[in-house]
Amino acid sequence: MSWTQEEMEKSYQELVQKAITDEAFRKELVADPNATISKATGKEIPADYKIRIIEEDPSYQATFLLPPMAGEELSEEDLQSMAGGMCQGHCCVGNACGANASFK
């Protein structure tokens, strides 16, 4: 089952809201993001699709998510994945970040 960009953004907002108010859910989300997201949204995430949850550390003013190192020439797929990034939440307010998220 594919996710639309709108579904991803809506799910992201809902997951973040729950994670900032429900400590047990937050721990579950950090420990097993794929299963927790699937359970919360009712949508399957492929087993080979890796998701890492990074908790904000209040001792830092900014968090940067760097894309993988590039070789001499990027493939069309690499260029597409970089161009299709998504960043949500306050990491983008006054800070720089990049994220690549798409569920298929």
The predicted-structure confidence for 7-66, as pLDDT tens digits, reads as follows 989 999 999 999 999 999 999 999 999 999 999 999 988 889 899 999 988 899 888 888
- pTM for this one? 0.61
Select from 31, 19, 26, 94 the least CA-distant residue to 64: 94
How far apart are the C-alpha atoms of 14 and 18, rounded to whole Å?
A: 6
Amino acid at 13: Q
Q: Are 85 and 101 in contact (CB under 8 A)?
A: yes
